[in-house]
Amino acid sequence: MTLHDKKVKMIEAGDASSACILTDSSVYMWGSGMNGRLGNGDTKQVLIPIRSKELDGKQVIAITKGTNNTFAILDTYQVYGFGSSRGGKLGFELAKGKNYELPR
């Protein structure tokens, strides 16, 4: 899948991974899956942008990537986080450095 025929609304680059939101609110991610930062339930590297099935059907308005983690903000102002919670960076209670490979 390439994005050459898609309309990108926003793109975000992080530490070894990237994400974009299309005008239809779908999210595509690629790069290192280390610590679950791609939110696809895996930790493998993805070289070609893949659509996030986990965020399908949600109206994602913004996405931000940090070091080994990602946040998606919905039009309802709900926030989904995934990736490394080391140091409490995802804000999940009692996460204790666990990796979250799916949006939560």
pLDDT tens, position by position, 11-35:
999 989 999 999 999 999 999 999 9
Type of residue at 101: E
Domain span at 78:
8-100
Which of the 8 DSSP states describes residue 29?
Answer: E
What lies within 8 Å, CB to CB, of 101 at 6+ separation is 36, 39, 40, 41, 42, 43, 82
Q: How many CA atoms lie within 13 A of 31 on its CB side?
A: 22
Q: Does residue 93 sit within a domain?
A: yes
How much of the chain, in percent, has pLDDT values that exceed 70? Answer: 98
**Count of domains observed in the chain:** 1
Q: What is the pTM of this model?
A: 0.91
- pLDDT tens-digit map of 30-46: 999 999 999 999 999 99
